[in-house]
Structure 1
Amino acid sequence: MGNVTSSVAARLAFFPPEPATYEVAAEEGGLRMTGVLPDANVDVHALPTRAGTRVVAAFWRYPTARLTLLYSHGNAADLGQMLGLFMELRSHLRVNIMCYDYSGYGASTGKPSEYNTYYDIEAVYDCLKKEYGIGQEDLILYGQSVGSGPTLHLASRLEKLRGVVLHSGILSGIRVLYPVKVTLWFDIFKNIDKIKQVECPVLVIHGTADDIVDFSHGKRLWELAKEKYEPLWVKGGGHCNLETYPEYIRHLRKFVNAMEKLAKERATKAPQTLMI
């Protein structure tokens, strides 16, 4: 029963677009994405993971940004399809954007699985630290739908993380299929347990008419968060259209501004090094 149910949940979790909507080509000085509109402002990476795969990640810097948004997308898109949204978020929120494709998505190698998504986001976070000097104090993790899984996996391990956004997030894989009351050992993406370990402010965004991941998932995730930020319940919103509602970007901007203020306050209170 356990293996069968877990297998069904895993099959429901991952739908990488076929064919991928972009490719990655080597050029002098690095990599570039092909098949999409060229962008001279993006850094493209192919990052090795603990699972032996290589995941494609893209970093857009906003000139005056203090904060960086690490975005884990949903289960049926790749980076090529998400570029428009990323550009809007970068512009409206005035943050750096780091996004990536899970193993088996887009030009990333390997196959998608729960644990591969965990290894994927760990590799991307390591890149942010080593390549860009971005620490967790200036980082917001953003997880959409299945992306809430790797987001909470990493968030539960970072004690000084600035913030978390859960967009149409799931309580767990099995709970999307069946309204079970307890966490089963063979479940996947056990967000219902991991969110209790997150120490930073959590913003939950969910549509009240979501017919893929019931609204109750978002409501419960918000209830379980230690440090709750005012949630956004999008009246009439579905699973894949929340970003089309004007209140989406307004509320997200409000959250980012609040997190930026916290980051500045923390920096001001930090002990100063005595220069001799």
Structure 2
Amino acid sequence: MGAVTSSMAAKFAFFPPNPPSYCVTVEEGTGKLRMTDVAEKENVDVLKVKTKKGTEIVALYVKNPTAKLTLLYSHGNAADLGQMYDLFSELSLHLRVNLMGYDYSGYGQSTGKPSEQNTYADVEAAYKCLQETYGVKEEDIILYGQSVGSGPTLDLSSRLSRLRAVVLHSPILSGLRVMYPVKRTYWFDIYKNIDKIPLVQCPVLVIHGSKDDVVDCSHGKQLHALSKEKYEPLWVEGGNHCDLELFPQYIKHLKKFILAIEKTGPLRNGSVLSMDQMDNARNSTDCRPRQSIDQREKSRSSTDNRDKPRGSTDQIEKSRASTDKRDRSRKSVDYADKANTAEQPEKGRNSIDRFGDMMRSAVLCNIDCFKPVGTKV
């Protein structure tokens, strides 16, 4: 088994930009951290956060004075904060949210080396920073995971009972499943999202491109199918792995999702309104009826065990270990659902779709999710 583990580990790799796209300096007199090689903005804080693994990660906190919710964004495999800076600023502006992004250990100016377990510690440290430094409550946080970032996002969200929502952007079922069409979860696999998604108690939005040639759209479809609280997914017709931000429906759908989440709000006992109630709230915002694609789902209790107390960080770690040891067979999921017909980027854009034009020249994701070691970057 040890040889198998070593062989599998050799096939997976992290690709932090080399050299990093930014540096961090300390302002004389104030001690304030500043990021170089980006357009400095008054509403952006630069922080260094220590993790329980002993590394120190760099994080950005983008403030929006009109925000009710906060997005915690876990980026893709070969990006760092310097490359994501403009996107984070635009998302905060257009979605009217506060946003925290962070670099994994070994990425950008974060110390240490990237690994699966370190990314789990990284996202937990960023989450803890939101609570302790900015006073953000769990029920006001939306976790957002892009590509490999879906791993730390689902690991954390599967253990938080009062989380507001989750967004999965071009997510993976697991590391092994990106390369091989396996039907079961092996103990040596990494980012076992397929096993963790059923544990998420809050609404989940999945966004995936129909032409994704790195992580097949079937990954997103199966994660959507396995979600307890499904929100209307976005299958971007013609979208690939690294270009979904350039399609106008991307920001439109995200904005609609945020508005719906804001309208419903957490209940007093910490649970979230049912998806039918969420659809009604969204309809009142959109001023037009929309049939929920999830009407086939049976109605669920509003509590859904969300009022259970959140475990400590140590309990989270123990729970993860027990989850990762599970090695069970799973039935394959029918992928016959056709991707929703979506408007193309060439169509007219309204005011919020300037976002797509602005991001067209940005470096959003410059490498695939996983590549065999030795592949040229």
Q: Among residues 133, 150, 161, which one is paired with 1:148 in the alignment?
A: 150
Mapping 1:199-238, distance limit 5 Å: 199-238=201-240
Residues in 1 aligned to 2:69 and 2:8: alpha-carbon distance in whole angstroms:
37
Query: Secondary structure of 2:166's partner?
Result: strand
Alignment of 1:250 with 2:252, yes or no, is yes
Aligned residues: CA RMSD: 1.5
Residue equivalent to 1:266? 267
Q: CA deviation at 1:8?
A: 3.2
Residues in 2 aligned to 1:159 and 1:268: alpha-carbon distance in whole angstroms:
11
Structure 1 unaligned regions, length at least 5 = 271-276
Amino acid at match of 1:160: R
Residue equivalent to 2:60? 58
Residue equivalent to 1:273? none
Residues in 2 aligned to 1:113 and 1:8: alpha-carbon distance in whole angstroms:
12
Amino acid at match of 2:218: S
Q: Among residues 97, 109, 112, which one is paired with 1:110 in the alignment?
A: 112
Amino acid at match of 1:49: T
Residue equivalent to 1:94? 96
Residues in 2 aligned to 1:8 and 1:175: alpha-carbon distance in whole angstroms:
15
Residue equivalent to 2:20? 20
Higher helix share: 1
Higher strand share: 1
Query: Secondary structure of 2:267's partner?
Result: helix
Query: Secondary structure of 2:12's partner?
Result: helix
Q: CA deviation at 1:267?
A: 6.2
Contact 1:43-1:60 at 8 Å conserved across structures:
yes
Query: Secondary structure of 1:266's partner?
Result: coil
Amino acid at match of 1:266: L
Residue equivalent to 2:323? none
| TM-superposition CA deviations, 1:195-235 (whole Å, max 9, x none) | 11100000000001000001110000000000000000001
Residues in 1 aligned to 2:116 and 2:270: alpha-carbon distance in whole angstroms:
39
Residues in 2 aligned to 1:7 and 1:210: alpha-carbon distance in whole angstroms:
24
Q: CA deviation at 1:5?
A: 4.1
How many residues are paired up? 267
Query: Secondary structure of 1:64's partner?
Result: coil
Cα distance 1:34–1:267, how it changes in 2: closer, same or farther (>3 A)? farther
TM-score by length of 1: 0.94
Residues in 1 aligned to 2:12 and 2:243: alpha-carbon distance in whole angstroms:
24
Identity %: 63
Alignment of 1:138 with 2:120, yes or no, is no
Residue equivalent to 2:242? 240
Amino acid at match of 2:184: V
Residue equivalent to 1:194? 196
Q: CA deviation at 1:25?
A: 1.0
Amino acid at match of 2:120: Y
Higher relative contact order (CA 8 A, sep 6+): 2
Larger Rg: 2
